Amino acid sequence: MVLYTLVATYLCTLVLPLLLVLALVKLWEIYIIRGRDSSCPKPLPPGTMGLPFLGETLQMVLQRRKFLRIKRQKYGCIYKTHLFGNPTVRVMGAENVRQILLAEDKLVAVQWPASMRTILGSGTLSNLHGAEHKNKKKAIMKAFSREALENYIPVIQEEVRRTVTDWLQSESSVLVYPEMKKLMFRIAMRILLGFEPEQTKTDEPDLVEAFEEMIKNLFSFPIDVPFSGLYRGLRARDFIHSKIEENLKKKMERCVEESEHKDALQLLIENCRENEERLSMQEIKEFATELLFGGHETTASTATSLVMFLGLHLDVMLRVRQELREKDLLDVYSHDKRLSIEVLEQLKYAGCVIKEALRINPPVPGGFRVALKTFELNGYQIPKGWNVIYSICDTHDVADVFPDKQEFYPERFMDTSPPGSSRFSYIPFGGGARRCVGKEFANVLLKIFLVELIARCDWTLLNGPPTMKTAPTVYPVDNLPTKFNSYFGN
């Protein structure tokens, strides 16, 4: 009897759990094998799917660039994995990415992870499809027209100048990345959402904190339970929505003169009214949140990269300064000279510096799609229903059109890019029907930042070259501590 009890205990504590694990692994293998479309003769891409049901999400979230680098080195430009609850194919390389980006609504459709769709909302531009996406994008583009951008310039200059002054007056070092996020957030609040300067001072700290929490949890397991990432992200989003609604109601209460500067949100609402399209308050809040996210997080990342690269490459910084001198822009602060789109377009080398920063450190690492039907890509099958991630950072890394890829060399962009599919070797703003609507806004903002910074400052990176991390945009893990000094040259 005692022996029987011992055997039973042994079976219950050791053997049964082991059998359960083996059964789960077998079910996982069957699930993956069934994912292959038997009607397609091509094999699945190489790769691994990770732990049963959890996939490789945890490794990717923790390791980020290291995880992606190891995968690329082992499996090449197309490989399978399992991320955010779905079998996934990761794609890189100009020709592969070209086929994905130009197959929108034919072979693939946009589909961000469930957590991101839930937090940002189903009505945002990044989650719309077909004609609905096309019409909304057309309306949004009016907010980034040449005329609109021209009107935004004074506000951008004002905010950048105030920030640069604060940096120069700081007796200690400046943590560039968090300061840059605050600067770009203020600009986005005023230009995109129409917050008054006084409101940005009052609401900025709470809103910045809420945005930090929301962004941190955009890519999380889609389980809305207390203390989960999705739960925290949704609570932060609700707070942001409440502030946006509060501001909208204040704006509606006062009469807006025809000559008054109109922010991007106003332009969108007016366009919808002209086309007799009704926008609910929820749709407006979702759109505004997406605008605020896209309008400050990515530009803060790239502006930080610019400070880093110019701090590490004095020769590049001096050449930009020489270009400003030639355009009579080094006295931009002392003579209170106002910039314009026409003047900014003349800064060719400064534009190349921005492009090179975006090549090495694209703020957004890639985009998400889902296969609408099984199709072939470079000898492999992509099964219907599988997620497809096209990688921006990896595509830049493997592009043959860029010699000495690891070198910061803005001059490479002084020549016209080669024609054909090689244009997809450089995709910091995506491509195809979903190319970033704020591309020109970002370029204007970043050029103004360069003009104001280089005309007034020299600086030193106190920690040297930082380690970069992605979560979800690229940033330096040490926040880039920097000492700024006034530039007194001629």
* pLDDT at residue 469, as a whole number: 87
Q: What distance, in Å, lies between the first and last C-alpha atoms of the chain?
A: 98
What does the pLDDT read at residue 365?
87
- DSSP state, residue 55: B
24-27 contact pairs (CB < 8 A, 24+): 24/52, 24/53, 25/52, 27/52
pLDDT (0 to 100) of residue 483: 96
Q: Give the Cα separation of 449 and 354 in Å (integer).
A: 11
CA distance 382 to 91: 11
Distance of CA 294 to the CA centre of its chain: 7
Domain-located, residue 464: yes
pLDDT at res. 260: 56
Q: What is the pLDDT of residue 28?
A: 53
* Planar angle of CA 169, 175, 178, nearest 5 degrees: 115
Q: Give a yes or no: residue 20 inside a domain.
A: no
Give the C-alpha separation, 294 to 441, whole Å.
Answer: 11
Apex 355 CA angle, 354 and 358, nearest 5: 90
Rounded to the nearest 10 degrees, how much is the dihedral formed by the CA atoms of 442, 443, 447, 450?
60
Please report, for the domain that includes residue 174, its CATH number. 1.10.630.10
Q: What pLDDT is recorded for position 420?
A: 43
Is there a domain that residue 240 lies in? yes
Domain count, the chain: 1
Q: Answer whether residue 165 is part of any domain.
A: yes
Residue 4, domain member (yes or no): no
Per the structure, the complete domain to which residue 341 belongs is given by 86-486
pLDDT at residue 16, rounded to an integer: 60
Whether residue 407 is contained in a domain is answered as: yes
What's the confidence (pLDDT) of residue 27? 61
Tell me the C-alpha distance between 246 and 369, whole Å.
35
Buried residues in 169-199 as b, exposed as e (16+ CB within 10 A)? eeeebbebbbbbbbbbbbbbbbbbbbbeeeb
What is the secondary structure of 66-132 as a DSSP string? HHHHHHHHHH-SEEEEEETTEEEEEE-SHHHHHHHHTTBTTTEEE---HHHHHHH-TTSGGG--HHH
Residue 151 lies in a domain: yes
Q: Is 57 inside a domain boundary?
A: no
3-state secondary structure of 308: helix
Tell me the pLDDT of the chain (490 aa) as tens digits. Answer: 655 665 556 555 665 666 565 555 556 555 554 567 788 889 999 999 988 778 898 888 777 778 888 999 999 999 999 988 889 999 999 999 999 999 988 999 988 888 888 888 877 888 888 877 887 788 788 888 899 899 999 999 999 999 999 999 998 899 999 999 999 999 988 888 887 776 666 667 788 888 889 988 888 878 888 888 899 999 999 999 998 888 877 776 665 554 456 777 777 777 767 766 677 788 888 888 888 887 788 999 999 999 999 999 999 999 999 999 999 988 755 545 679 999 999 999 999 999 999 999 999 889 999 999 999 999 999 999 999 999 999 999 999 889 898 999 999 998 765 444 478 999 999 988 888 888 999 999 999 999 999 999 999 999 999 999 887 789 999 999 999 999 876 5
